[in-house]
């Protein structure tokens, strides 16, 4: 009897523990989404979701898994600011370190308007992007208001509130951010004023400020913002666009609205913001030809989808102010794609002292001095020389960043 009771207790515990695990199994993208992504990629679009929060069970590993399954690159972030998950530089550093375990774009969403004064500049330099929105505005006393929580604040004078909100929008879009999420947002009680507030003239001024500041504008999938008039004007003015889902859990939004609008407006590759992947960063203490992992610092063996970095080498040139790089990488599937490689060199004070970029016409052939030459199929080597602005020799270098991005489909 005692033995039987133990079995029953064990089975009860098993069911209690395991059923939630099965229920929370990480979902897979639908076939419809996979086919839509494929259609857009055929048009040359590089799809990146820059708005994946690591919260509600979402992790960097899950974001990377979703990228591999869906074909949409993942950019992960979390909220910074007072009373937010990343409330100080120590927490931000830990977040970056955790996210860097996977080849993902890494960013933050900034909620305090003095974020660029309080955030450690060295940590900001490790990020791929900074995202903001206009959904938190200070009241007349300077207290931040979360505009979507309408029961926590009152609007006594509509016109006065809209004027303050417009000034707030201009402040955010002029901050040193990369992406403005959910542009032209209005809280539900104010949506009735959308057409009279967000006029073509005002949208134009907003876009002009963002374009001048190098800001891209998000088409967020769960949101009704921005509306079509905004996208039409953004395209006319040459603004960059992004897509994003602003998740609250680990069940990914399939970005239906975002993809719908990309197809409806026939968005072209040059209209989307595409940030390059950081391949390698670290200190070079030796030179020659090495596998990335042999260099003793963080290396991501992935350039873009379908490519793998095999080897990197560098040597000091005839002149002390020049360094030459070579890259060996493999393309897993045959395709003709135009790539651009970037190299940035930093001194020990974290200042850029050199940089270069080069277009690689066909990644499957050797490109040296801009001229292709014959070599074994699928094992190209590309070379690049970099001039150092202030360094006399390699001992002045503290970090080298190498990035590669697809710029065109041939």
The CATH number assigned to the domain holding 330 equals: 2.60.40
Window from 44-48, 88-92, 115-119, 329-333 with minimum mean pLDDT: 329-333
| Average pLDDT over all residues of the chain | 78
Q: Is residue 398 part of a domain?
A: yes
Structure tokens at 74: 């993942």
- Label residue 321 by pLDDT band (50, 70, 90): low
Sign of torsion, CA 356 359 363 368? negative
d(CA 210, CA 217): 8
Residue 6 lies in a domain: no
CATH of the domain at 170: 3.20.20.140
Whether residues 222 and 158 share a domain: the answer is yes
- Predicted confidence at residue 334, as pLDDT, reads 46
Rounded to two decimals, what is the model's pTM? Answer: 0.69
Note the pLDDT of residue 133: 98
Per the structure, the count of domains in the chain is 2
Residues 234 and 307 in one domain: no
Q: Is 264 found in the same domain as 296? A: no
In a domain, 21, yes or no: no
Whether 10 is covered by a domain: the verdict is: no
What is the pLDDT at residue 410?
42
Under the banding of pLDDT at 50, 70 and 90, the label for residue 161 is very high
**Could you check whether the bond before residue 226 is cis, i.e. omega within 30 degrees of 0?**
yes
Residue 53: which residues within 8 A CB-CB, separation 6 or more?
76, 77, 78, 79, 109, 246, 247, 248
The residue that leads in pLDDT, 55 or 395, is 55
Report yes or no on 7 lying in a domain: no
Residues 167, 170, 172, 175: what is their CA dihedral angle, to the nearest 10 degrees? -130
Q: How far is CA 213 from CA 8, 171, 208, in A?
A: 65, 12, 9
Range of the domain at 403: 277-409
**Is the pLDDT higher at 43 or at 377?**
43
Q: In the listed set 271, 305, 337, which residue is the last one of a domain according to the structure?
A: 271
Q: pLDDT tens, 354-392?
A: 767 666 544 443 333 333 333 333 334 455 556 665 544
Last residue of a domain, one of 271, 306, 330: 271
What are the phi and psi torsion angles at 270 (to 5°)? -70, -10
pLDDT at 64 over 80: yes
Whether residue 378 sits in one domain with residue 229 = no
Q: CA-to-CA distance for 393 and 410, rounded, in angstroms?
A: 39
Rounded distance, CA 33 to CA 129, Å? 26
Domain boundary among the residues 244, 271, 298 is at: 271
Do 215 and 141 share a structural domain?
A: yes
pLDDT tens digits along 284-306: 444 555 555 555 444 443 444 45
Mean pLDDT on 42-61: 93
Average pLDDT, integer, range 385-400: 59
Same domain, 267 and 330: no
């Amino acid at each position: 009897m005692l033995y039987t009771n133990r079995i029953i207790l064990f089975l009860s515990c098993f069911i209690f523990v395991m059923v939630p695990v099965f229920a929370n199994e990480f979902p897979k993208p639908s076939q419809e989404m996979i086919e839509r992504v494929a259609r857009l990629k055929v048009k040359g679009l590089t799809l990146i979701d820059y708005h994946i929060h690591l919260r509600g069970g979402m992790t960097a590993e899950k974001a990377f898994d979703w990228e591999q399954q869906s074909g949409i690159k993942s950019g992960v972030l979390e909220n910074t600011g007072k009373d937010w998950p990343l409330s100080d530089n120590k927490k931000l550093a830990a977040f970056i370190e955790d996210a860097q375990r996977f080849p993902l774009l890494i960013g933050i969403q900034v909620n305090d308007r003095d974020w660029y004064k309080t955030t450690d500049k060295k940590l900001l330099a490790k990020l791929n992007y900074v995202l903001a929105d206009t959904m938190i505005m200070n009241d007349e006393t300077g207290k931040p208001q979360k505009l979507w929580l309408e029961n926590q604040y009152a609007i006594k004078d509509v016109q006065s509130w809209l004027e303050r909100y417009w000034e707030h929008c201009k402040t955010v879009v002029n901050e040193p951010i990369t992406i403005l999420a959910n542009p032209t947002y209005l809280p539900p009680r104010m949506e009735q004023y959308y057409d009279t507030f967000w006029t073509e003239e005002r949208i134009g001024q907003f876009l002009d400020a963002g374009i001048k500041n190098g800001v891209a504008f998000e088409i967020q999938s769960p949101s009704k913002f921005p509306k079509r008039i905004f996208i039409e004007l953004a395209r006319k003015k040459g603004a960059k666009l992004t897509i994003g889902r602003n998740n609250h859990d680990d069940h990914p939004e399939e970005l239906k609205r975002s993809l719908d609008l990309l197809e409806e407006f026939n968005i072209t590759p040059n209209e989307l913001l595409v940030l390059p992947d950081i391949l390698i960063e670290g200190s070079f203490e030796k030179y020659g030809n090495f596998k990335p992992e042999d260099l003793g610092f963080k290396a991501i063996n992935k350039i873009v989808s379908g490519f793998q970095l095999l080897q990197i080498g560098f040597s000091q040139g005839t002149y002390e102010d020049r360094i030459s790089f070579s890259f060996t990488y493999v393309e897993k599937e045959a395709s003709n794609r135009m790539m651009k490689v970037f190299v940035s060199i930093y001194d020990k004070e974290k200042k850029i002292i050199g940089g270069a970029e080069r277009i690689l016409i066909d990644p499957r052939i050797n490109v040296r001095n801009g001229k292709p030459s014959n070599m074994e199929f699928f094992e190209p080597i590309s070379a690049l020389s970099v001039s150092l602005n202030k360094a006399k020799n390699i001992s002045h270098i503290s970090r080298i960043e190498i990035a590669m991005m697809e710029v065109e489909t041939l």
